[in-house]
Each structure stands twice: as C-alpha cells, then as structure tokens.
C-alpha cells in the first residue's frame, strides 16, 4: 500500500494538514474495533500488525514506532518506514504473543499517534478477552467467525462461497428414481440452483427406514443404468451433483449386518437398542474404517459426485467394543472419532474437489474438529422460518454464516405455522442457502419469486457468508428481528428485517445500522421498494448509523431486505 492508498484507507482528505487516525487493520478511533486488532499468532508465537495513517506535509520523514505493554517497553523507538504522499503504511513485525500492547508511531516531533489494546494469540481465545474487555458478544462472534473461516475451514480464506443447493428429500422421501429426480433437477436449474442433491433411498433395499443401511450399492430397480445418466443430466443443466450417505449406521435388515453382526457397538449378552430402526457401526474398529473408506471412495471415483451430505441420525447406546478387551474398551470414544476423521481426511486427499456437509440429527455434530474436514454443517432439523430466527441467532454466536445450512421448506411446517415464501427465503438467505421444497407443488408465482430471491442472494452471498455480522434486533427481545452483514472491503452491506406480529397499528421500529463508514455515501436498494418509508437513493454512513432506516413492516410475518453499496 502506498501513501495515497493509505490516506484513502483512513478516510482523510489530503488537503487536511493534521494527524489522522491510525489503524491496525481496519481500526479507526471513533469506529468499532474489528478483528484485526486481535492478531493471530504464527508458529513462532508472533504476529505482524499493519499500521496506516496520515501526516501531510511531511513526505520523506521517517516513521518511528514503539511498542509497550504497561510500563514495559517491548520495542523501543526505531524506524519502520517513511511518509509518502502525506501518509504512511508500515508493518510492525514479530510482535510476541501476549498483550495488551500499545503501538505508538511518530513522524516528526508533532505527529504522534497510538493504538491501544492490541492482542496477539489465538483468535478463538482472544474473542473471550474481547468480550470481557467491553467490546461485546458481537465483536467476540466476529472474531470467532474470522478465526473459523481463516484457520479451520478447508480452503481457509480462499474457500469459495457455498453454492445454492436443492435437496430432493421433501419432494420424494424414499421414492427416488431417475425420471423423478430429473424432473426436479430441471425445475431447480430454472430458478438458479447450483447444486442438486439426491437424498436417502437410492441404495440397497432402501424403500423405507427399516432396511438397506450399510448396503451402499445403487438400487438397480430405481436406477437400472446406475447413477451416471442422472449425474450427466444434472451436470448438463449447469449444476453439480451431490448425494446423501450415512456411513456410520446400519439396519439390522441389511446384508452388511447379516454378514458382520460383530461390527456394531454392543455389550455381549445385552439387547442392541435400535433407534430409527438402525444400529451404530463401531468406527473404532479398523476393519470397519477400511470398509467405509472403500465404499465411499468407490462411489465418488465411479461417479462425478461433487458433494456428500454425511448424515448420522441417532444417539449412542451400548457403546461396547468387546474385541478390544477390558483394558482398551473405554478407548472406543477417541478411536471412533479419530477413525471418522481419518476416513474423511483420506477421502478428501484422494478427491481434492469433493465437498462434505456434516449432518447429524439436526446440529448434533457441529464443532471445530469436524469443521476442519467439512465445508458446511446442518444447523437443525427444524426449518420452520420463525423458529429459525432464534436457532440461527444462537448458532451465530460461535459459527460463521458460511457453514450454516439454511433451507427454504414447505409450509405448514413444524408448529403447523404457515409463513410467506419471501419470509422463508429471507430467513434462509442469512446463511448458506438451500431449497428443500417439493417443487412439483409450486405455482408459477412461487417459481417467479424464488428466481428473484436466488438472483438477489447471489449478489450478496460473499457479504453474508464471509462478511461481518451485526445482530441489530434480537427475536428473543421483541417482535422485530434485524441482522446486518458488512463485506470485508466495506463496499457492500445488506440488512434483513422481520416482523412477527403488528399490534394496534404500531409502526415497526426504526433500524440503526452498524459497521459503516460515517463519511461514506451508500446507495440504498431495497429488495421491495414499498417497504422503505423514506425514498432514499443514497445516504451517508452517519445517517444510516444514527438516524437509521424507517421500514414499513406490517401485519404478521412481514419481511424485507435492503442492499447498501458504497459509492464514495
């Protein structure tokens, strides 16, 4: 970054002859502190901090820096760069783990500035310190989101945003067959879906949940020519293909169980408790591990499968491993987990482009260990849109929207409640968007709205999935819910707003935004122009954050979204 870019980054006019704000990353005094003020340590337990600022009229002057921690001088004054074009852009290198540090910079005797409370360590730990220091749960969440995206998820910060997905389960359940899946794929492609996923029912004697789990060969009656004709058809529509699997489970009514009854968790002489008509394969056993890796590798190798929805639909019971012996049987928990990790690691090493979703009975396996190996997680089996506002808010305290699968599904759903299709879409668009509806029952109006919503989502997807989240109004505290996302570069922001129920004709609360530049000017583009009371074409960041937006939400289950694009 040169001096002119640095001057622009801190938002100061080059005509102003005074010291401007210094920043660590995107920190500006008077603005909210962001993740870059807490720095992730490297393998040597140190970190670098980029600092930018302005000092007009001092081109060529040496910029000196000092780092202190309380009364302790960590690094005394030394030259770190020069003022160019009225600004500096320097990097403080090898700051040791710890803090809080104070970074002081000077360019000449009168241009002195400082940044306080710089921390170096692990972001997931520092998130708690940030919260305790008064930055709030919002900042703690944003730090955790950045940490997960950068250091945990496959691909790190270079990972692509998640595609718009369609899953056929609610349309067909177990009644999958080639013509029906092709018909759904055609409908999904027309609304802008990017990934078509065939769910349960494609393998073995799997016509219901009583049989077939463990027999992972294509059902020849449903797919007489295998999966490839369907996959080629889906690919020809411009979508990639995904498939549902449940590798850790087995039905007693299966060829696998009849051949290997000893492969399930069990205590000799005790009943083997079934749940959802299935038992748990003992993945701690190396023979079970190798069998599982073998059929998964064969499935992906023989078919152009881009995505696995890896399910696990029951809780543990009878966690016995008699073959291990009394001294080692208790190791089943750690060995089971490590073997599942090994299967995924080896499978992805063989198929580097393969993506995987961790799905476990509705959010039962969401942790950083599995996220290091999977690209997304199933948030909850409850996809009812109003319930999801609270579910997704809770999820967002720890995990980023990028991994949070959020589906639009049919109504009435759980609770017997029916909400408008736009409401359901906007709720799901606050995460990784999926469509689970039975498209065979949609009207022409439904398809038109879905096409519009998906096209809109694609314009805001990087901001939602990889930007900074601000929870403005909580569904736990009133009739209104509002969440805002700001892109990494600050050039785009998107607001989602929801009303549960209006009473006594009261207008919806004015929504004050956050995370914007007070000096910036933003184009205001509502997804539904009738919902914005003031017909604003542009507004300053100061106006949007202090005056806010007056949104006309009325009745029951009303919703809207507003896109902000920085124009200057």
CB 88, CB 55: distance < 8 Å: yes
Structural domains of the chain sorted by starting position, each given as residue range(s) with its CATH number in brackets: 3-121 (2.60.40.1930), 156-378 (3.20.20.70), 469-566 (2.60.40.1180)
Task: Determine the Cα–Cα distance for residues 267 and 277; give it in Å rounded to an integer.
Answer: 18
Respond yes or no: is residue 253 known to be catalytic.
no
* pLDDT tens per residue, range 69-92: 888 888 888 888 888 877 777 788
φ, ψ for residue 453 (rounded to 5)?
A: -65, -40
Residue 32 has pLDDT above 60, yes or no: no
Listed range (306-315, 359-368, 390-399) with the worst mean pLDDT: 359-368
φ, ψ for residue 195 (rounded to 5)?
A: -140, 125
Residue 476 has pLDDT above 50, yes or no: yes
> Given this model, what pLDDT does residue 9 score?
40
Residue 320 has pLDDT above 70, yes or no: yes
Respond yes or no: is residue 381 known to be catalytic.
yes
Tokens for 234, please give them.
Answer: 């889906």
When pLDDT is averaged across residues 141-149 and rounded to a whole number, the result is: 93
Tokens for 207, please give them.
Answer: 């016509």
Residue 6 has pLDDT above 50, yes or no: no
Residue 350 has pLDDT above 80, yes or no: yes
Residue 479 has pLDDT above 90, yes or no: yes
Residues in contact with 147: Cβ distance below 8 Å, sequence separation at least 6, in sequence order: 40, 122, 123, 124, 127
Tokens for 224, please give them.
Answer: 């007489």
**Adjacency order of strands within the sheet including 492-501:** 468-473, 480-486, 492-501, 556-566, 521-526, 538-540
pTM of the model: 0.81
What is the average pLDDT score of the chain?
89
> Given this model, what pLDDT does residue 227 score?
98
Owner of token pair 């049987």: 329
Residue 2 has pLDDT above 60, yes or no: no
Residue 534 has pLDDT above 60, yes or no: yes
Catalytic residue among 122, 286, 367, 381: 381
Distances (CA, A) of 378 to 60, 386, 434, 502: 55, 17, 11, 32
**Adjacency order of strands within the sheet including 87-96:** 23-24, 46-54, 87-96
Specify which residues 86 forms β-bridges with.
none
Catalytic residue among 200, 311, 517, 558: 311
> Given this model, what pLDDT does residue 33 score?
26
CB 22, CB 114: distance < 8 Å: yes
Nearest Cα neighbor of 553 from 516, 512, 500 is 500
Cβ–Cβ contacts within 10 Å for residue 186, how many?
14
């Amino acid at each position: 970054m040169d001096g002119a870019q640095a001057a622009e980054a801190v938002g100061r006019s080059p005509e102003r002859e005074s010291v401007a704000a210094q920043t660590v990353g995107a920190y500006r005094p008077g603005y909210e502190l962001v993740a870059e003020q807490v720095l992730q340590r490297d393998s040597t337990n140190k970190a670098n901090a980029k600092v930018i600022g302005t000092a007009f009229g001092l081109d060529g002057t040496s910029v000196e820096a000092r780092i202190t921690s309380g009364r302790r001088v960590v690094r005394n004054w030394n030259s770190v760069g020069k003022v160019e074009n009225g600004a500096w852009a320097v990097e403080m290198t090898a700051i040791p783990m710890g803090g809080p540090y104070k970074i002081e910079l000077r360019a000449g005797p009168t241009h002195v500035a400082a940044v306080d409370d710089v921390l170096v360590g692990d972001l997931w730990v520092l998130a708690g310190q940030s919260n305790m220091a008064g930055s709030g749960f919002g900042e703690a969440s944003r730090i955790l989101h950045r940490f997960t995206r950068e250091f945990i998820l496959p691909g790190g910060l270079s990972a692509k945003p998640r595609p718009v997905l369609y899953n056929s389960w609610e349309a067909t359940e177990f009644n999958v067959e080639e013509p029906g899946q092709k018909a759904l794929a055609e409908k999904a492609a027309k609304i802008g879906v990017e990934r078509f996923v065939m769910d349960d029912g494609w393998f073995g004697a799997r016509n219901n949940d009583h049989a077939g789990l463990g027999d992972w060969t294509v059902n020849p009656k449903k797919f007489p020519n295998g999966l490839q004709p369907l996959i080629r058809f889906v690919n020809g529509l411009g979508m990639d293909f995904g498939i549902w699997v449940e590798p850790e489970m087995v039905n007693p009514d299966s060829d696998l169980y009849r051949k290997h009854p000893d492969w399930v968790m069990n205590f000799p002489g005790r009943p083997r408790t079934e749940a959802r008509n299935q038992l748990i394969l003992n993945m701690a056993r190396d023979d079970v591990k190798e069998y599982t890796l073998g059929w998964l590798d064969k499935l992906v190798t023989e078919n152009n499968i881009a995505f696995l929805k890896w399910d696990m639909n029951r809780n543990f019971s009878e966690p016995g491993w008699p073959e291990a012996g009394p001294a080692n049987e208790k190791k089943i928990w750690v060995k089971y987990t490590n073997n599942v990790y090994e299967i995924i690691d080896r499978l992805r090493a063989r198929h580097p482009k393969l993506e995987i979703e961790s799905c476990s009975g509705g959010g039962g396996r969401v942790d950083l260990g599995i996220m290091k190996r999977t690209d997304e997680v199933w948030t909850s089996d409850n996809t009812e849109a109003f319930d999801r506002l609270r579910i997704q808010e809770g999820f967002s305290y720890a995990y980023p929207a990028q991994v949070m699968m959020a589906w639009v599904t049919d109504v009435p759903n759980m609770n017997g409640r029916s909400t408008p299709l736009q409401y359901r879409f906007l709720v799901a668009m606050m995460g990784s968007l999926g469509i689970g509806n039975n498209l065979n029952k949609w009207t022409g109006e439904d398809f038109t709205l879905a096409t519009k919503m998906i096209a809109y989502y694609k314009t805001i997807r990087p901001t939602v999935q990889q930007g900074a989240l601000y929870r403005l109004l909580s569904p736990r505290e009133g009739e209104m819910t509002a969440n805002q996302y700001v892109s990494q570069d600050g050039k785009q922001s998107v607001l989602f707003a929801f009303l549960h129920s209006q009473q006594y004709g009261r207008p919806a609360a004015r929504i004050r935004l956050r995370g914007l530049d007070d000096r910036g000017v933003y184009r205001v583009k509502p997804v539904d122009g009738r919902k914005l009371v003031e017909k604003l074409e542009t507004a300053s960041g100061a106006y949007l954050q202090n005056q806010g937006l007056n949104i006309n939400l009325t009745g029951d289950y009303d919703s809207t979204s507003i896109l902000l694009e920085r124009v200057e």
